[in-house]
């Protein structure tokens, strides 16, 4: 079940909200735990068991670590052993379901068809962050299995993030104070995310499919194609994250934002501070800093960055292009850290911005094409205009999608947000808010009903 589906919008969500708010506060975590399992099991009921096993393993590990360390830290060595075992088990489960086939191909032995559980990369990282934080004393162990299970399986962010650290929602899991203001803000954020997903991401996805299929689209046609894909993946993932954040607020949770207008960046370094913030933060907190970060000299820092970006690529998928994608950004970030950032700061803003967008777009080409031959061919089309500037068919399609393309590019900037900020605190601001939410729901519903095209890119990650 996805947020941008008719059954979720008009059946599941209203029913869950009604049940949630008529349930006494003490029973709300249990209710959420049950409906979370229903939500996850809707698409793959058999793999609910895997998520429950992962939850149980980390719940028990947290108890052992918490009791072993206790207040005087009397058995820190034992706690560390439990932590290491839990990490190995977590990585083992993730590795088996996500990477066994890939490793089998490398080692030339056949692996059977292993289903990829939706959201396994996200909830595995969340459960690992819990046990690590308990070991570090950054979070208290959770003795109640239902409360911990609610954290792991919380449906707003279960299948595609943002990756929520236990310490960020620890207090809210124990005691939440839902209110009308938070709920209405959640509805507004959810509707913004829904419109981004349905009205922009889906349409940019259609344009990308058209331009990619036309191998003779020409130099400009190929660039329009990859720009469309860049917009699709942004609005797809950003929209879903905003829907998750909005849903969280409806149930009394405050999740941290996951995107901060990444396409206005003037460097690759800045881009990765703005894109998929929860993933970048996770790798920084649990890999980069424990390896030494930037505290042990430049050579060690570069090595640490290499490890982080190799793992970032691997996290996204079991294929060579994802590893190449991670290493591509590793090289760019090392170059920026070495000298490019200084040059970019001195350069005109427009130059720095074009530099960033150009390299980000190339990165998305690498990210999309799992077949290396297709990857080389498409990159060739971007740099060598062997098929002319743009084909007639491609030009017709670009003109047809041009209004939406312009709107999507405009929506990548904070202009609309800044304009809205001028009326946000007015007493009458609820009127345009309400009208826009209703209009957004109507138009998005019409788009979903009239088109069967509603992919979600990050399901496979």
Give DSSP secondary structure letters for 18-53: HHHHHS-GGGHHHHHHHHHHHHHHTT-GGGHHHHHH
d(CA 231, CA 201): 7
- Name which of 309, 306, 301, 246 is nearest 280 in CA terms: 309
Q: At what angle do helices 76-106 and 120-136 cross, to 10 degrees?
A: 160
Dihedral of CA atoms 440, 445, 450, 453 in degrees, nearest 10, equals 90
d(CA 382, CA 405): 19
Per-state percent for the chain, helix, strand, coil, to nearest 5? 75, 0, 25
Tokens of 56: 């149980």
Tokens of 305: 């960055």
* Residue 316 bears catalytic tag: yes
The label of the residue with tokens 């239902």 reads 146
d(CA 148, CA 376): 46
Sign of CA dihedral 382, 388, 392, 395: positive
Provide the 8-state DSSP code for 257. P
d(CA 407, CA 70): 55
Tokens of 106: 């490398």
d(CA 87, CA 165): 16
Choose the catalytic residue: 108, 177, 316, 353: 316
Q: Which residues are catalytic?
A: 316
């Amino acid at each position: 079940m996805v947020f941008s589906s008719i059954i979720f919008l008009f059946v599941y969500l209203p029913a869950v909200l009604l049940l949630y708010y008529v349930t006494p506060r003490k029973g709300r975590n249990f209710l959420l735990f049950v409906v979370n399992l229903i939500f996850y099991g809707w698409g793959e009921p058999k793999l609910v068991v895997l998520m429950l096993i992962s939850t149980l393993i980390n719940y028990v590990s947290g108890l052992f670590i918490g009791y072993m360390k206790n207040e005087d830290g009397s058995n820190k060595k034992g706690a560390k052993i439990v932590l290491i075992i839990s990490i190995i088990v977590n990585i083992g489960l993730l590795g088996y379901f996500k990477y066994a086939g890939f490793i089998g191909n490398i080692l030339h032995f056949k692996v059977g068809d292993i289903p990829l559980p939706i959201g396994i990369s996200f909830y595995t990282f969340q459960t690992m962050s819990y046990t690590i934080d308990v070991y570090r004393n950054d979070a208290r162990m959770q003795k109640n299995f239902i409360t911990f299970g609610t954290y792991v399986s919380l449906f707003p962010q279960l299948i595609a993030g943002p990756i929520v650290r236990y310490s960020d929602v620890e207090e809210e899991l124990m005691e939440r104070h839902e209110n009308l203001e938070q709920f209405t803000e959640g509805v507004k954020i959810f509707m913004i995310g829904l419109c981004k997903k349905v009205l922009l991401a889906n349409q940019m996805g259609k344009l990308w499919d058209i331009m990619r299929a036309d191998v003779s689209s020409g130099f400009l046609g190929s660039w329009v194609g990859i720009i469309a894909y860049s917009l699709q993946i942004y609005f797809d993932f950003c929209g879903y994250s905003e829907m998750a954040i909005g849903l969280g607020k409806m149930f009394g949770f405050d999740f941290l934002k996951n995107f901060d207008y990444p396409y206005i960046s003037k460097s690759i370094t800045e881009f990765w501070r703005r894109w998929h913030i929860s993933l970048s933060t996770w790798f920084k907190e649990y890999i980069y800093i424990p390896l030494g970060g930037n505290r042990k000299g430049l050579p060690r820092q570069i090595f640490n960055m290499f490890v982080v970006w190799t793992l970032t690529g691997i996290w996204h998928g079991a294929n060579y292009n994802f590893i190449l994608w991670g290493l591509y950004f590793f090289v760019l970030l090392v170059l920026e850290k070495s000298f490019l950032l200084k040059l970019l700061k001195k350069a005109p803003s427009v130059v720095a911005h074009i530099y960033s967008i150009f390299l980000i777009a190339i990165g998305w080409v690498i990210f999309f094409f799992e077949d290396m031959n297709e990857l080389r061919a498409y990159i060739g089309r971007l740099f060598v205009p062997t098929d002319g500037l743009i084909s007639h068919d491609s030009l017709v399609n670009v003109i047809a999608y041009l209004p939406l393309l312009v709107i999507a590019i405009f929506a990548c900037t904070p202009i609309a947000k800044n304009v809205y900020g001028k009326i946000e605190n007015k007493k009458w601001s609820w009127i345009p808010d309400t009208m826009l939410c209703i209009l957004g729901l109507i138009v998005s519903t019409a788009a979903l009903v009239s088109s069967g095209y509603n992919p979600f890119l990050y399901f496979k990650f």
